[in-house]
Structure 1
Amino acid sequence: MSKLVLITGGAGFIGSHLADELLAHGYRVRALDNLAPQVHGPDAKRPDYLHPDVELMVGDVRDPAAVRRALLGVDAVYHFAAVVGVGQSMYEIARYTDVNNMGTAVLLETLIQQPVERLIVASSMSIYGEGLYRGPDGSISAGVERSLAQLKAGDWEVRNADGEVLRPVPTPEDKAPALPSVYALSKYDQERMCLMIGRAYGISSVALRFFNIFGTRQALSNPYTGVLAIFASRFLNGNPPLINEDGYQQRDFVSVYDVARACRLALEVPEAADQVFNIASGNQYTIREVAERMAVALGKPQIRPEITGKYRVGDIRHCVADIGHARRVLGYEPRVSLEEGLVELAEWLEGQSAVDRVAEARAELAMRGLAL
Structure 2
Amino acid sequence: MQGNVLITGGAGFIGSRLGRRFADEGYRVTVLDSLIPQVHGEDPETTSPLLATVREFATVIKGTVTSAADIAAAVEGQNIIVHLAAETGTGQSMYEIDRYVEANVGGTAKLLDALANGEHQVERIVVASSRSIYGEGAYRTPAGDLVYPPHRDDAAMAAGDFAVHQPGVEGPLELVATSETATIHPSSVYGITKHVQESLVMTVAPTIGVEPVALRYQNVYGPGQSLKNPYTGILSIFSTLIRQGKPINIFEDGLESRDFVYIDDVVNATYLAATVPGAASQIINVGSGVATTVSDVVAALFSAFGREVPTTVSGNYRLGDIRHNFADTSRAAEMLGVSATVDFDEGVRRFVDWVLTEPVEGDNYQKSLDEMASRNLLK
Same fold (TM over 0.5): yes
- Equivalent position of 2:13 in the other structure: 13
Determine if contact 1:221/1:233 at 8 Å carries over to the other structure: no
The yes-or-no answer on 1:331 pairing with 2:376 is no
Deviations 1:252-310 (A, max 9, x none): 1100100000001101211211111000011111111011101110121x224322201
Deviations 1:192-228 (A, max 9, x none): 1011110211110100000011011111121111221
- Equivalent position of 2:215 in the other structure: 208
Counterpart-to-counterpart distance in 2, 1:129 and 1:305: 28
Deviations 1:134-155 (A, max 9, x none): 1223222113332222111011
Q: Summarize the alignment of residues 40-51 of structure 1 with structure 2, pairs less than 5 Å apart.
A: 40-45=40-45, 47-49=48-50, 50-51=53-54
Counterpart-to-counterpart distance in 2, 1:289 and 1:203: 42
**Structure 1 spans left out of the alignment, 5+ residues:** none
Among 215, 228, 234, the alignment partner of 1:221 is 228
**Structure 2 spans left out of the alignment, 5+ residues:** none
- Equivalent position of 2:257 in the other structure: 250
- Equivalent position of 2:287 in the other structure: 280
How many residues end up aligned between the 2 structures? 371
- Equivalent position of 2:150 in the other structure: 144
Determine if contact 1:292/1:305 at 8 Å carries over to the other structure: no
- Equivalent position of 1:320 in the other structure: 326
Offset, 1:162: 4.5
Offset, 1:76: 0.4
Q: Summarize the alignment of residues 96-107 of structure 1 with structure 2, pairs less than 5 Å apart.
A: 96-107=100-111
2:12 is matched by which residue type in structure 1? Answer: G
Offset, 1:2: 2.6
Determine if contact 2:8/2:83 at 8 Å carries over to the other structure: yes
Determine if contact 1:35/1:45 at 8 Å carries over to the other structure: no
Counterpart-to-counterpart distance in 2, 1:323 and 1:312: 28
Counterpart-to-counterpart distance in 2, 1:334 and 1:318: 19
- Equivalent position of 2:241 in the other structure: 234
The worse-fitting range, judged by mean Cα deviation, of 343-352 and 227-236 is 227-236
1:54 is matched by which residue type in structure 2? Answer: A
1:195 is matched by which residue type in structure 2? Answer: M
**TM score, norm. by length of structure 1:** 0.96
Offset, 1:240: 2.9
The worse-fitting range, judged by mean Cα deviation, of 176-185 and 162-171 is 162-171
1:38 is matched by which residue type in structure 2? Answer: Q
1:24 is matched by which residue type in structure 2? Answer: D
Q: Summarize the alignment of residues 99-118 of structure 1 with structure 2, pairs less than 5 Å apart.
A: 99-112=103-116, 113=118, 114-118=120-124
- Equivalent position of 1:348 in the other structure: 354
Among 92, 96, 108, the alignment partner of 1:88 is 92
The worse-fitting range, judged by mean Cα deviation, of 236-245 and 201-210 is 236-245
Deviations 1:139-182 (A, max 9, x none): 22113332222111011111233452212100000111111111
Determine if contact 1:143/1:178 at 8 Å carries over to the other structure: no
- Equivalent position of 1:197 in the other structure: 204
2:335 is matched by which residue type in structure 1? Answer: V
User: Share of identical aligned residues, percent?
Assistant: 41
Counterpart-to-counterpart distance in 2, 1:96 and 1:40: 18
Counterpart-to-counterpart distance in 1, 2:64 and 2:152: 38
